[in-house]
Homo-oligomer: A and B are copies of this chain.
Amino acid sequence: MGTTQLESVQEPKYWHLKTVLSEALDSDFAVGEILPNERELAARFGVARATLRQALEQLELEGRLQRRRGVGTTVAPPRVGVAVSTAQHEWTGGVSGEAWQPVDCTMGQAPAAVAAMLGTAPAEPVHVMRRIRDTHGQAVAAELLYVPASSVPDLAALDAPSGAFRARNVLRELHRLGLEGQDRSVELGSARADDAKELDRLPGAPVLVVTTRYFAAGGTAAVSVATYRADTCRLTFGDSGALEISHDERRERRAS
């Protein structure tokens, strides 16, 4: 039977669907526009809702769509370039109220993996600081910063026991140490419940986990574990924090 170039090779339906939807997004939809609901779309394409959802999930993973329960599916704006500076910006950021905003700071214990990086015993008390990073009014990252008590020995004992005030004091002490270098890694993860809440996502949402080791005074002074929303963020490194690639083409970079 000379099947007339039927589409049904062995490409999964959801994959083909994703392609079709992707092209439709490029041509027929504007950023922020809401799509028909899932049942409607599934019916329109003649597939089960689960299959349609598989395609939508992929597109959301790629930052093309945004889905919110009770609301609907909207066309996502291009990913935001977020600078993960090679410099000391975020180190002092909490102090100057720049990118990172301290939320809380308590004494606690570092997870085993973090303790290993700090070179401390797992039971050694550390300051555990919570910081949030905003961009354009949107929370894009949640961080846990682990600072061994031994890194900031001069912290006044009469400090507030916790809270944003204490956070600023810890950061100030860290800043006085100076920063000799840092060491960073990026990997894919899924948001824990607490991070998800800060980032306004559901638990399990894909995130980029940036682990940074800060060196000062000949040792590891602190370790930061920052989780960035993978759907909306593009991490940028290096000199110019304004790389411009995404699903949308735009000239930038005038030879000024």
A interface residue numbers (CB < 8 A to B) = 15, 18, 58, 61-63, 79, 81, 86, 111-117, 119, 144, 181-190, 192, 194, 203-204, 206, 208, 211, 213, 220, 225, 230-231, 233-240, 243-253, 255
Contacts and interface: CB of A to CB of B under 8 A. Distances in A.
A79 B244 CA distance: 29
Contacts of A15: 203-204
In terms of DSSP, what is the predominant structure of the interface of chain A?
A: mixed
A183 B249 contact: no
14 contacts: A61-B190, A79-B187, A113-B247, A113-B248, A115-B249, A116-B244, A116-B249, A116-B250, A117-B243, A181-B238, A183-B237, A184-B236, A185-B235, A186-B236
A187 B76 CA distance: 15
A187 B244 contact: no
A159 to B, nearest CB: 21
Given A58-B204, A183-B238, A185-B235, A253 B113 contact: no
B240 A183 contact: yes
